[in-house]
Structure 1
């Protein structure tokens, strides 16, 4: 498998196994907090095993792993969020969670995949999803559930609707899948939150950048991101102008 195919394979496998784990655990009456943590660690271990088997010489940055800072000296680094939206995962029928797998080389994205198992969706740089060019009327801006005032401001100025949901991967999938037009997340993000969503959005022809319009550099010593914007190219200038006008 090449890197694109491997990212897709691991994301899909981890997502399907997480579905099985959730169904079996809920049947036992497990506490939701226990199941959330169980899912995080289960998916992390599965992903680490797969990467160890297929790419043993590559470094890994995982939300659930110990951050070995020697990764900053590595050229190839897999950046993964084993269970994005873990707070939503442990509830039967919840769709707002995802698995993020991405590869960067020298700070730039090479490959990535986002699996949204409960939505039966897999977005990957292996087979980029066709870009949906039709912009909604009125437009739909999606954002996170808290600190969403900047997204609300953009929606108000552009005459758009505003919606919120969990998981950066799910919100990115709504834009890539043509159900939303812009995704704005203003704070509280790490590289594992944004790397795979940025990979699949760009592969599908959308623009993805930080809140101030600058590009991402991944595998930094402090793996934080200055927000995230994913948008139709036709809308990005207006969105960034509104976000960055004081």
Structure 2
């Protein structure tokens, strides 16, 4: 085994090679002298036993395969239909959503027949409520963006155990970018022709200097009020929840807010573990943990994603605004 750690400009790099074969794993963090030691620790953690390695491998393969399905439809003419979801909301859906969903669900059931499934384009049953391990699947997070052909959609496959997000994969087919994470083993980004790199969130705590990852769609008056009160100067407007959370994990943004109860459990399960393993946090608007595989599938208390160090401050600053809006935890 060869372990090489060094500073390259402002980045600490660590490479792990065993028996002459590069693992293709690379850890990158903001540099101080101590960060080289942090890189070494990251690489050594790779050697520790991965409890969910097979699950991550299967989910990664499926995300890429489903992404190929989405791209085949994306670059061809397609019809847009409307559906009524489990919460009696009208949403757009395409054949691409359904085909990708079937591919993912059928393979997961073959690979892990004892697990439960909660997938956006599959009929929900109470059988999953009896399972400790449940897969939460959004075959295409960002259907509206797919229809608009702006590229901001993603395949999301998350695994919850005991109601907590444990492992997850988010794949953006147009960018060719994949995020993956497992509890205790870091969050990693895979891009074409690059070694996998460990992600780390920013350390920004000044709200006026934070970059907000926000929705491309029309913004509510309440969200406008929050933006004014926090004094955000910069925003990155993107589509999918997984894409926006990924921006925080990639250190391109610092904060994501979703005030309404519109997100579902499959929107946040995979992104949550990715953000947390990158050093961030994802909770409801009141700072409480998100729970998965509940009877209700929506995140009724909204969602806040941050770089972690600013999370408590963001929750505290939100509190008076939520009271003004008449929002209470349910």
TM-score, structure 2 normalization = 0.67
Paired residues of 1:141 and 1:151 also in contact (CA < 8 A)? no
Paired residues of 1:186 and 1:227 also in contact (CA < 8 A)? yes
What is the root-mean-square deviation of aligned Cα atoms in Å? 2.2
Structure 2 counterpart SS, 1:244: helix
Residue 177 to residue 150, structure 1, CA distance change in 2 (3 Å):
farther
Pair 1:237-2:296 in alignment = no
What CA deviation, in whole Å up to 9, does each residue of 1:95-122 have, x standing for no partner? Answer: 2111110111121112111111112211
What CA deviation, in whole Å up to 9, does each residue of 1:150-184 have, x standing for no partner? Answer: 54444333321344332111111111112211011
Structure 1 counterpart SS, 2:187: coil
Pair 1:9-2:83 in alignment = no
Pair 1:37-2:111 in alignment = no
Deviation at 1:185, TM superposition (A): 0.8
More helix by share: 1
Pair 1:81-2:133 in alignment = no
Cα distance in 1 for residues equivalent to 2:235 and 2:66: 31
Gaps of 5+ in 2: 1-52, 83-91, 189-198, 324-330
Match of 2:165 in 1: 109
Trace 1:156-171 onto structure 2 (pairs within 5 A): 156-160=228-232, 161-171=234-244
Gaps of 5+ in 1: none
Paired residues of 2:236 and 2:253 also in contact (CA < 8 A)? no
Cα distance in 2 for residues equivalent to 1:227 and 1:12: 29
1:133 to 202, 205, 210: 202
Paired residues of 1:7 and 1:124 also in contact (CA < 8 A)? no
1:205 to 249, 268, 279: 279
Cα distance in 2 for residues equivalent to 1:234 and 1:134: 6
Quick check: 146-155 or 10-19, which moved more? Answer: 146-155
Would you say how many aligned residue pairs link Structure 1 and Structure 2? 241
TM-score, structure 1 normalization = 0.89
